[in-house]
């Protein structure tokens, strides 16, 4: 799923996150009730958080939006053909 639109990647990441929370691999306590509702609904975007394309091919991280809001090339440009 390297070469696909961001929203599709983000949706798949949110689904994977939801499964990880259900399996106890990620604590639900680090999310607000609203964020958990968005995760459980499979939303592509989660309030206050951003799916970040890491420079390592195929790696996408969930980061605080304010931290991500810096000027950078981004992994999408490096390994995702810049598809938005």
**Looking at beta carbons, which pairs linking 45-52 to residues 24 or more positions away fall under 8 Å?**
45/10, 46/14, 51/6, 51/9, 51/10, 51/13
Q: What angle do CA 16, 20, 22 make, to 5 degrees?
A: 115
- 10 found inside a domain: yes
Q: For 23-61, where are the alpha helices, taking DSSP H only?
A: 33-40
Examine residue 34 and state whether it is found in any structural domain, yes or no: yes
Q: Which domain holds residue 58?
A: 6-79
- For residue 1, being part of any structural domain is answered with no
Per-residue pLDDT of the chain (84 residues; tens, 9 = 90+): 657 788 898 999 999 999 999 999 999 999 999 999 999 999 999 999 999 887 777 788 999 998 766 565 554 454 445 554
Q: What is the model's pTM?
A: 0.78
CA-to-CA distance for 79 and 63, rounded, in angstroms? 19
In a domain, 74, yes or no: yes
The structural domain count of the chain equals 1
Residue 84 located in a structural domain: no
């Amino acid at each position: 799923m390297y070469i696909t639109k961001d929203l599709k990647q983000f949706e798949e990441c949110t689904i994977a996150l939801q499964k990880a929370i259900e399996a106890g691999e990620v604590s639900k306590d680090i999310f607000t009730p609203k964020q958990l509702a968005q995760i459980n609904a499979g939303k592509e975007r989660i309030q206050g958080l951003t799916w970040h394309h890491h420079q390592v091919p195929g790696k996408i991280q969930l980061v605080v939006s304010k931290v991500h809001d810096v000027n950078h090339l981004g992994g999408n440009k490096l390994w995702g053909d810049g598809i938005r």
